[in-house]
Amino acid sequence: MADGDGARTVREDRELGGFAGTGEVTPASGDTATDRRVAAAKAWLAVARAAMAVGARPQGFEAARRGVEELGDGYAVGADVEDDTSLKLLAAEQANDEGAEHAPTAMMRVLEDRIGVAEAARR
pTM above 0.85, yes or no: yes
Sequence-separated (6 or more) residues with CB below 8 Å from residue 22? 11, 12, 13, 14, 42, 43, 46
pLDDT at 84: 80
23 and 11 in contact (C-beta within 8 Å)?
Answer: yes
Q: pLDDT tens digits for 26-57?
A: 987 666 888 999 999 999 999 999 999 999 99
Q: Measure the CA angle with vertex 49, ends 106 and 32; round to 5°.
A: 90
Q: Could you tell me if 117 and 76 are in contact, meaning their C-beta atoms sit under 8 angstroms apart?
A: yes
**pLDDT tens track for 71-93:** 998 777 665 767 789 999 999 99
95-98 LR contacts (CB < 8 Å, sep 24+): 96/61
Which residue in 3, 9, 12, 5 sits closest to 26, CA to CA?
Answer: 9
pLDDT tens digits, 15-29: 999 999 999 999 876
Closest to 43 in 3D by CA, of 5, 7, 71, 2: 71
Other CB atoms within a 10 A radius of the CB of residue 18 amount to 11
